[in-house]
Amino acid sequence: MSVPVRTLIVGAGPAGTAVLSAADKNGCLPELVHGGLVIADKGEIVGRGQLGQYTIRSDSTAETFLTAINQSKVESLRALENDPVVQAIAAHIGDLGVPLPKAGIFLELLGEHLIAFVKQHGTSVMMGHEAVQVQRVSGGLWRTRLRDCASGNEKAVISHNVISATGGEQPYSLIEEKIVAGIRITERYKDKLLPSDAFLAEDGFKLAQEVLGTGAVPKLVVVGGSTSALASVNKLLRTDSGLTVGTGAITLLHRRPLRPFYHSIEAAHAEGYTDFGPDDICPVSGFVYRLGGFRLEARDLVVRMLGIAGRQGDPRLALHQINDDDDAAAARILEEADLIIPALGYLPRALPLLDQRGQELKIAAREPHHPPMVDGACRVLDSDGQPVPGLYGIGLAAGFVPHGRLGGEKSFRGQANGLWLWQNDVGQLIVDQILGRSEEARAVA
């Protein structure tokens, strides 16, 4: 058996490099590296992941992206302040987010410099290598088989810890499970469906047009109350869509009330917004709907559609909150739709795990109803809801919910995804545990 390293990070996209960025900001990146670090990703480009393929805006501000530069302890990163890629992000300071293609280019630049730094200090970076099997072995270690995607050759990495940063996906099976207004939409409306993940990508309008064909002004329905649902609506409202979108052409079907984020109770009251209580306020920051509230471009749409502070909604869009499975009005909206875009969440791309006996190690996220993949300390949970020692998860659909000193409102239900969280508190939470800083880890978990 080869000499074990302390940590293997599987995934070098936004979440995987966020772990490095969090350690960097907190001054412990050299310590993380010196304990033995390997990074593997089946792709060839670091930092960006799939982010750049979506033609929408980020739900993180430009200022958030720039903290990875101006709070870095890595000299080459701090020197990027006037780089054209960085300036392209800075140009969006004060805007309702950053176009994701620009964000992807920025994260690639950030990733390249972080990877260059850790390589200089002894980290093995294996791009173009896919994790085909992660097995528990004796001594509490993990043996990960990594396959070279070009040659097919395999290499085993033995590590004390594995961080799964492989992102999320929207499999069709996830949509098949969903019942909307008493209807299994994949059975009744299969030919009218275009999942939000596909629609939000670069060729989304083309795919929508293929579903719609030619004809009069179409009726368009987005199903869901998530950020991706609001992003889908905003994309449909764009003037460059190539679609004919008339008055009332779009309907958003959602179950939960749509809530806007506010920086304080006073800011909400100043706009006449009072639809919140003590459990909706973050005890750490004082933010109203810190986790459950929409931000930036999605928030702008919500406050307009709710008519807050006299704002006017877009006449092309109607909201319909589904009351129960016998909601006849919602069923009629689906029946009359020409295109249905389900935005019903993501599942984590789980690593192929085996226990010490070579049997599948089942995780909670693959159980019915898809509980979170991780607990409050970012530890991956098995199918019994118990943390798997030495196995951590971060990124889209991991299911982490901030709490304790990290803040967040008591009423929040769901999962919190965001670059700022990954590059700061969440990423550092994992780093602290790997470095044996048990007091910090216990303070959160």
Please write the tens of the pLDDT for every residue from 67-124: 999 999 999 999 999 999 999 999 999 999 999 999 999 999 999 999 999 999 999 9
User: Mean pLDDT throughout 123-140?
Assistant: 96
User: What are 37's two structure tokens?
Assistant: 């670090």
User: Mean pLDDT throughout 266-295?
Assistant: 96
How many angstroms separate the CA atoms of 230 and 301, rounded?
A: 8
* pLDDT grade for 239, boundaries at 50, 70 and 90: confident
* pLDDT grade for 242, boundaries at 50, 70 and 90: confident
Three-state DSSP at 423 gives helix
Give, in order, the Cα–Cα distances in Å from 362 to each of 281, 347, 373, 444: 36, 15, 11, 26
Q: Any idea which residue has 């919190």 for tokens?
A: 416
Three-state DSSP at 408 gives coil
Q: What is the pLDDT of residues 282-340, one digit of tens each?
A: 999 999 999 999 999 999 999 999 999 999 999 999 999 998 778 999 999 999 999 99
User: Mean pLDDT throughout 379-402?
Assistant: 95
What percentage of the chain has pLDDT greater than the value 70?
98
* pLDDT grade for 370, boundaries at 50, 70 and 90: confident
**pLDDT higher than 80, residue 177:** yes
CA angle 246, 248, 253 (to 5 degrees): 130
The per-residue pLDDT of the chain, averaged, comes to: 93
Q: Provide the pLDDT for residue 438.
A: 60
Q: Euclidean distance between the first and final Cα of the chain, in Å?
A: 33
User: What are 170's two structure tokens?
Assistant: 């929207």
Q: Provide the pLDDT for residue 21.
A: 97
**pLDDT higher than 90, residue 240:** no
H-run or E-run covering 15: helix 14-25
**pLDDT higher than 80, residue 215:** no
Q: Domain 173-258+294-342 is of which CATH architecture?
A: 3-Layer(bba) Sandwich (3.50)
Do 5-169+346-444 and 173-258+294-342 have matching folds?
Answer: yes
Whether the CB-CB separation of 55 and 205 falls below 8 Å is answered with no
Residues with Cβ within 8 Å of 310's Cβ and at least 6 positions away in sequence, in order, are none
Three-state DSSP at 181 gives coil
**pLDDT higher than 60, residue 141:** yes
> Where along the chain do its domains lie?
5-169+346-444, 173-258+294-342
User: Mean pLDDT throughout 190-216?
Assistant: 92
Q: Provide the pLDDT for residue 445.
A: 46
What percentage of the chain has pLDDT greater than the value 90?
87
Q: Provide the pLDDT for residue 292.
A: 94
User: What are 83's two structure tokens?
Assistant: 């780089």
How many angstroms separate the CA atoms of 173 and 186, rounded?
A: 9
**pLDDT higher than 60, residue 1:** no
Q: Provide the pLDDT for residue 286.
A: 96
In 385-434, the DSSP E strands lie at 387-393
- Burial (CB count within 10 angstroms: exposed 0-12, middle 13-18, buried 19+), residue 148: middle
CATH match of 5-169+346-444 with 3.50.50.60: yes
Of the listed ranges 43-57, 154-168, 246-260, the least confidently predicted one is: 43-57
H-run or E-run covering 221: strand 220-223
**pLDDT higher than 70, residue 388:** yes
